[in-house]
């Protein structure tokens, strides 16, 4: 195990614009102007990336590489301040890495070789010390039931939800003392993606059979269910993100079973009535990431040709492609500060999106 701690030299502040009010949707305040994507910086790692994420306060960038075993933390100005190498891991999350900003903790998958009942390792970024290992949702079972395949931290930092490789179970932890608040078995399906609403009170679960379930983060009862892809063989909902105002979610498919066109589409669903608010079908599968920007007026979509920006208020608008590469594996956005991190190969590119 290797740890690198670097001095935090630059203090930076991200200014947040407010999201739209409850009486208006994002589309009501959008402006039809061309997009601009300015490259702010390029960060490099030694091994192939598998995830990139912003901290909830938008002030740090976190990456996972080498099959989820190396975690690196940068300031938003691109200064590397922490790195941990947990060694080889046979099971790794494809799209997950988190920082609990309040306590300056890094949350990453537990090392496979230590204890097969562990799910997560919690590290103090300042000291470089491991705080604790967190037991998985089914500690009496093997690592496939405990090591997270997907996990995500709530915007308020108070909860984290995980699903293991055997994704029939979804569990929510209280991050104050890391006890499990609830652990449910999904009804006849498997989780393929997870997301929190901006208010942290709703957990979204994308499933392998084309559905999205919205659960109460308080007690896991199902608030609503949506059929996003109508033929169960079409696609797995591998990407799921709530809009900043909480009125919509965007869902993107992974590889389809039969190559149908719908499986390559990204859809925005209106939560209130389940209607398809927007459908963008020009993507090439699989969709590798979704990121809301410009307070919900634009959405970045990564597929196997690069990254494109779509206006959310126009179904027929031509997207602006600004990253051209087949190597994009993960993207992450800060909707209110309009910054987008793109992980491809061994590089992370940070863009400022504007109009």
Classify residue 202 by its DSSP letter.
E
Beta-carbon contacts of 44 under 8 Å, excluding residues fewer than 6 positions away, are 346, 347, 348
Handedness of CA 312, 315, 320, 326 (dihedral sign): positive
Domain assignment present for 284 = yes
For residues 279 and 235, give the distance between their C-alpha atoms in angstroms, rounded to a whole number.
15
Domain assignment present for 18 = no
Q: Are 340 and 54 in contact (CB under 8 A)?
A: no
Predicted confidence at residue 19, as pLDDT, reads 33
Nearest to 43 by CA among 12, 85, 78, 75: 78
Give me the phi and psi of 166, to 5 degrees please.
Answer: -80, 90
Helices (H), 181-259: none
Low-confidence ranges of the chain (pLDDT < 50): 5-27, 90-92, 94, 256-262
Domain assignment present for 328 = yes
Beta-carbon contacts of 309 under 8 Å, excluding residues fewer than 6 positions away, are 35, 37, 293, 298, 299, 300, 319, 320, 321, 322, 353
For residues 64 and 97, give the distance between their C-alpha atoms in angstroms, rounded to a whole number.
6
Residue 157 φ/ψ region, left for φ over 0, alpha for ψ in the -120 to 50 degree band, beta for the rest: left
Q: Are 271 and 248 in contact (CB under 8 A)?
A: yes
Classify residue 114 by its DSSP letter.
T
Residue 5's Cβ-side half-sphere holds a number of Cα atoms within 13 Å equal to: 9
Domain assignment present for 23 = no
Q: Are 45 and 62 in contact (CB under 8 A)?
A: no
Q: Are 46 and 346 in contact (CB under 8 A)?
A: yes
Classify residue 91 by its DSSP letter.
S
Predicted confidence at residue 87, as pLDDT, reads 56
Classify residue 221 by its DSSP letter.
-
Residue 283 φ/ψ region, left for φ over 0, alpha for ψ in the -120 to 50 degree band, beta for the rest: beta
Q: Are 81 and 5 in contact (CB under 8 A)?
A: yes
For residues 229 and 240, give the distance between their C-alpha atoms in angstroms, rounded to a whole number.
13
Q: Give the residue numbers spanning the domain of 226.
A: 31-354
Domain assignment present for 162 = yes
Q: For residue 250, what are its two tokens?
A: 């965007």
**CATH number, domain containing residue 50:** 2.130.10.10
Number of domains forming the structure of the chain: 1
Beta strands in 11-100 (DSSP E): 36-44, 49-54, 60-65, 70-75, 80-85, 98-100
Domain assignment present for 2 = no
């Amino acid at each position: 195990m290797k740890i690198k701690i670097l001095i935090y030299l630059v203090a930076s502040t991200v200014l947040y614009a407010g999201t739209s009010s409850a009486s208006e949707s994002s589309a009501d305040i959008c402006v039809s102007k061309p997009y601009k994507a300015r490259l702010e910086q390029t960060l490099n790692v030694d091994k192939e990336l598998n995830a990139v994420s912003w901290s909830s306060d938008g002030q740090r960038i976190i990456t996972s590489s080498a099959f989820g075993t190396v975690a690196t933390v940068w300031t938003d100005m691109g200064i590397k301040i922490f790195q941990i190498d947990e060694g080889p891991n046979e099971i790794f999350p494809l799209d997950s890495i988190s920082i609990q900003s309040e306590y300056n903790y890094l949350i990453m998958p537990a090392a496979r070789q230590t204890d097969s009942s562990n799910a997560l390792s919690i590290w103090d970024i300042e000291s470089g010390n491991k705080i604790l290992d967190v037991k998985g949702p089914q500690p009496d079972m093997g690592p496939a039931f405990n090591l997270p395949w997907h996990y995500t931290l709530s915007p308020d930092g108070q909860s984290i939800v995980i699903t293991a490789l055997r994704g029939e179970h979804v569990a929510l932890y209280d991050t104050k003392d890391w006890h499990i608040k609830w652990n449910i078995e999904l009804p006849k399906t498997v989780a393929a993606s997870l997301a929190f609403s901006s208010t942290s009170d709703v957990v979204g679960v994308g499933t392998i059979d084309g559905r999205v379930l919205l659960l109460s983060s308080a007690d896991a009862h199902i608030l609503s269910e949506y059929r996003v892809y109508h033929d169960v063989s079409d696609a797995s909902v591998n990407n799921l993100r709530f809009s900043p105002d909480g009125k919509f979610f965007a869902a993107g498919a992974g590889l389809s079973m039969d190559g149908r066109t719908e499986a390559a589409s990204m859809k925005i669903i209106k939560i209130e009535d389940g209607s398809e608010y927007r459908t963008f079908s020009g993507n090439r599968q699989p969709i590798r990431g979704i990121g809301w920007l410009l307070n919900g007026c634009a959405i970045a979509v990564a597929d196997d040709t690069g990254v494109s920006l779509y206006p959310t208020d126009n179904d027929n608008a031509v997207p602006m492609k600004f990253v051209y590469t087949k190597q994009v594996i993960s993207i992450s956005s800060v909707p209110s500060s309009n910054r987008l991190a793109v992980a491809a190969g061994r590089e992370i590119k940070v863009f400022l999106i504007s109009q």
